[in-house]
Amino acid sequence: MKLPIIRHLSNFIEERDEDFVVEAIETLEHLTELESLKDEELDVIGELISNMYGSIEVHKMMKNEELSQKDALKKFMDRVLGSIDK
């Protein structure tokens, strides 16, 4: 996951709508079913999907918990890093 990408996508969601990102995720997930994709291509698609899901989570924290983008990003990354350490 890359924080600058998650930040950029959460700005996109804020300016437009979460549905655009959800539909992009669905499209990318569908692409992963293509048997001719190379491992490197699947890795890139997986990274994009992870960042998109992360941006949705950050946006939800900003909205539901009334956090600033900076605080929501920090809380999200702390949660991600905490789950990796376990």
Residue type present at position 45: I
pLDDT at res. 86: 62
Secondary structure letter of residue 16 according to DSSP: S
As a whole-number percent, the residues of the chain with pLDDT over 90 amount to 91
So where are the chain's domains? 3-85
In this prediction, residues 65-80 reach a mean pLDDT of: 94
In this prediction, residues 22-51 reach a mean pLDDT of: 97
Opening angle at CA 5, ends 74 and 72, nearest 5: 20
Instruction: State the helix-helix crossing angle for 39-64 and 18-31, rounded to 10 degrees.
Output: 160
In this prediction, residues 30-50 reach a mean pLDDT of: 97
pLDDT at res. 14: 95
Per-residue confidence band for 81, with pLDDT thresholds at 50, 70 and 90:
confident
pTM of the full predicted structure? Answer: 0.90
